[in-house]
C-alpha cells in the first residue's frame, strides 16, 4: 500500500523501518512522560512481522522527506461488542510533533479503518491515556466512544475506545 496525503507518503511498513518506528514511538511516548518498552508493552513496534503481518493485521508508516514521522497499525483482538462482531485493535498510532495539526492523524486513522473493513473486521478498539488529550479529541471526532465496563490491558493507558466499522 502506498498513497499520498499532502506532502506525506503513507505506505506499508518495511523491515528497514524498524529503527525509525522505534525512535518515533520512543520520542512521542517521552513527550507524555511514558517509557518506550520494546521488550514489553511496545514489542509490536519492533516485531511488526509477528504482531501485524502474521496475525492478519496491517502496519503503516508516514514518511516526509525520507524520514518516518508517523505510524499506526491494527491486529485482531479478543474484544467484540457482540458475538457477531470481529474486533481489531489500533496500536502504535503516533505522529511526530512537527506534523500534527494538518489532518494527517485523521487520514491515517481512516486509512487503517478502511483496511480493517476490507479484511472483515467490524470494530476498531484502542487504548490510550488521558494525558494524550489531542489524540482523544481526534478519536472522539472520528466516532470512537468509551464502552461500559471495559478495562485496559496496557498499564500506562486508562481509557478504552471502540468504533463500529461500516462498509
- Long-range contacts of residues 20-24, Cβ cutoff 8 Å, at least 24 apart: 20/61, 20/67, 20/68, 21/45, 21/46, 21/48, 21/61, 21/68, 21/71, 21/92, 22/46, 23/68, 24/68, 24/69, 24/70, 24/71, 24/94, 24/96
For 106, residues 6+ apart whose C-beta sits below 8 A from its C-beta are: 138, 141, 142
The architecture of the domain spanning 2-164 is: 3-Layer(aba) Sandwich (3.40)
DSSP code of residue 156: T
The pTM of this model reads 0.95
Q: Where are the alpha helices (DSSP H) in the chain?
A: 18-31, 43-46, 48, 104-118, 133-141
Per-residue pLDDT of the chain (167 residues; tens, 9 = 90+): 999 999 999 999 999 999 999 999 999 999 999 999 999 999 999 999 999 999 999 999 999 999 999 999 999 999 998 999 999 999 999 999 999 999 999 999 999 999 999 999 999 999 999 999 999 999 999 999 999 878 777 778 999 999 999 75
| pLDDT computed for residue 120 by the predictor | 97
Three-class secondary structure of residue 17 per DSSP? helix
pLDDT score at 152: 78
Which sequence spans correspond to the domains of the chain? 2-164
- What confidence score (pLDDT) does residue 117 get? 98
Report the pLDDT value the prediction gives residue 151, as an integer from 0 to 100: 79
Amino acid at each position: 500500500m502506498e498513497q499520498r496525503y499532502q506532502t506525506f507518503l503513507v505506505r506499508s511498513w518495511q523491515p528497514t523501518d524498524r529503527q525509525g518506528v522505534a525512535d518515533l514511538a520512543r520520542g512521542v511516548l517521552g513527550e507524555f512522560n511514558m517509557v518506550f518498552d520494546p521488550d514489553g508493552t511496545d514489542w509490536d513496534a519492533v516485531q511488526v512481522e509477528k504482531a501485524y503481518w502474521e496475525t492478519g493485521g496491517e502496519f503503516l508508516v508516514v514518511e516526509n522527506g525520507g524520514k518516518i514521522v508517523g505510524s499506526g497499525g491494527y491486529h485482531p483482538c479478543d474484544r467484540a461488542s457482540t458475538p457477531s462482531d470481529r474486533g481489531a485493535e489500533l496500536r502504535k498510532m503516533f505522529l511526530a510533533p512537527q506534523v500534527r495539526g494538518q489532518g494527517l492523524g485523521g487520514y491515517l486513522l481512516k486509512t487503517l479503518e478502511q483496511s480493517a473493513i476490507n479484511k472483515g473486521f467490524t470494530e476498531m478498539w484502542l487504548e490510550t491515556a488521558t494525558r494524550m488529550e489531542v489524540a482523544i479529541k481526534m478519536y472522539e471526532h472520528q466516532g470512537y466512544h468509551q464502552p461500559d465496563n471495559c478495562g485496559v490491558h496496557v498499564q500506562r493507558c486508562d481509557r478504552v475506545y471502540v468504533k463500529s466499522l461500516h462498509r
